[in-house]
Amino acid sequence: MAAERQDRVLDILRGRGILSSSTQQVAVGFMERWGVDAFRAVIETHLVEESKMADILSEDLKLPRLHRVRMLAVEKDVFEFIPYETALDYSVFPFEVKSDGTLKVAFADPTNEERVAKISSLAGGRMEAFVGERSEIISAIQKHYPLSKQLPSLVSMVRNRKD
């Protein structure tokens, strides 16, 4: 499943003429060396700029594109759906609950179907996906998540490092 998703990111970029065979080899080598997915490899090696990647994924997946995610007006009740640690791990940011209960969520990498399904499940099956830049999403998480939501994850991370 993970390999299929990684191929999807690489296929999208190859299909647009962004990755040559040599740049794809760089991405795959980075993936293998650091144990990251294709999305992270392409972003972290700067083969594609974050803003361009978000534009491409938004276009290709037909999802709305969000700019300046960290500047969004955020409803506080959105943080009840997605735990802080999950938001960081998945690079997702919930920002609004519509009147019908649908949770609006910004994703850095919406090609990861397992993660999209997990977030949808956390939202009670009612979720609307958007695409944003990874660094903007991480910044929004750090800026907006209440400390009370961050503490359990932070304590858990500290305990796991001691073990």
Let me know if residue 107 belongs to a domain.
Answer: yes
Question: Do 99 and 156 share a domain, yes or no?
Answer: yes
Question: Do 110 and 75 share a domain, yes or no?
Answer: yes
Q: In which element (H, E) is residue 16 found?
A: none
pLDDT tens for each residue of 1-20 = 444 445 789 999 999 999 99
pLDDT tens for each residue of 42-59 = 999 999 999 999 999 999
Question: Do 6 and 79 share a domain, yes or no?
Answer: no
- Encode burial over 114-123: b for 16+ CB neighbours within 10 A, e otherwise: ebbeebbebb
Let me know if residue 115 belongs to a domain.
Answer: yes
Question: Do 83 and 149 share a domain, yes or no?
Answer: yes
Question: Do 28 and 81 share a domain, yes or no?
Answer: no
pLDDT tens for each residue of 117-152 = 999 999 999 999 999 999 999 999 999 988 876 775
Let me know if residue 60 belongs to a domain.
Answer: no
pLDDT interval class at 161 (50, 70, 90): low
Contacts of 106 (CB under 8 A, 6+ apart): 66, 69, 92, 93, 95, 130, 131, 132, 136, 137, 140
Q: How far is CA 74 from the centre of its chain?
A: 18
Question: Do 99 and 129 share a domain, yes or no?
Answer: yes
Question: Do 153 and 92 share a domain, yes or no?
Answer: yes
Q: Which domain holds residue 35?
A: 2-48
Question: Do 78 and 154 share a domain, yes or no?
Answer: yes
pLDDT tens for each residue of 71-113 = 988 888 899 999 999 999 999 999 999 999 999 999 999 999 9
- Strands across the sheet with 92-97, in order? 92-97, 103-107, 127-131
Question: Do 29 and 107 share a domain, yes or no?
Answer: no
CA dist 149 → 63, 69, 98, 102, 139 (Å): 28, 19, 22, 21, 16
Question: Do 17 and 74 share a domain, yes or no?
Answer: no
Query: Model's pTM, two decimal places?
Result: 0.87
Quote the number of domains for the chain. 2
Question: Do 88 and 140 share a domain, yes or no?
Answer: yes
